[in-house]
């Protein structure tokens, strides 16, 4: 049931792992593990997953879509000011 709650939250709009953790009262690492499973389940159910990758605020470097949690540092400029990845789910047929 918990993973379905994650999908429902993501269907309301783009959310970061930190935002989901705050909303559910959990740690980021707990949410990230369950989120990966929820994304797989949503894809299998025919939903479209949209991931805006994490991005460095200083140089604009975009991390890969597989990096859901906030990275510590940018590999290009070594900056630590990073926008978190934003994940959303679009229901099938949307």
Q: Write the DSSP symbol of residue 59.
A: T
Give per-residue burial for 14-38: e unless 16+ CB within 10 Å, then b.
ebbbebbbeeeeeebeebeebbeeb
Where residue 77 sits, what CATH number does that domain have?
1.10.10
Mean pLDDT to the nearest integer, 15-40 = 89
pLDDT of residue 69: 87
Q: Comparing C-alpha atoms, which of 44, 41, 50, 40 is closest to residue 11?
A: 50
Is the overall model pTM greater than 0.85, yes or no?
A: no
The parent domain of residue 85 ranges over: 2-90
Q: Which two tokens stand for residue 37?
A: 């499973």
- The pLDDT of residue 26 is 87
Mean pLDDT on 22-32: 87
- 3-class secondary-structure state, position 12: coil
Confidence of residue 4 (pLDDT cuts 50, 70, 90): confident
Instruction: Report the domain count for the chain.
Output: 1
Spatial separation of the C-alpha atoms in residues 69 and 22, rounded to whole Å: 14
Q: Is the pLDDT of residue 85 over 60?
A: yes
């Amino acid at each position: 049931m918990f993973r379905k709650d994650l999908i429902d939250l993501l269907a309301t709009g783009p959310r970061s792992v930190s935002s989901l953790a705050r909303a559910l009262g959990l740690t980021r690492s707990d949410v990230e593990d369950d989120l990966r499973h929820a994304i797989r389940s949503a894809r299998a159910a025919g939903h479209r997953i949209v991931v805006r990758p994490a991005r460095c605020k200083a140089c604009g470097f975009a991390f890969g879509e597989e990096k859901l949690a906030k990275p510590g540092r940018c590999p290009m400029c070594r900056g630590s000011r990073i926008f978190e990845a934003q994940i959303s789910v679009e229901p099938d047929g949307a």
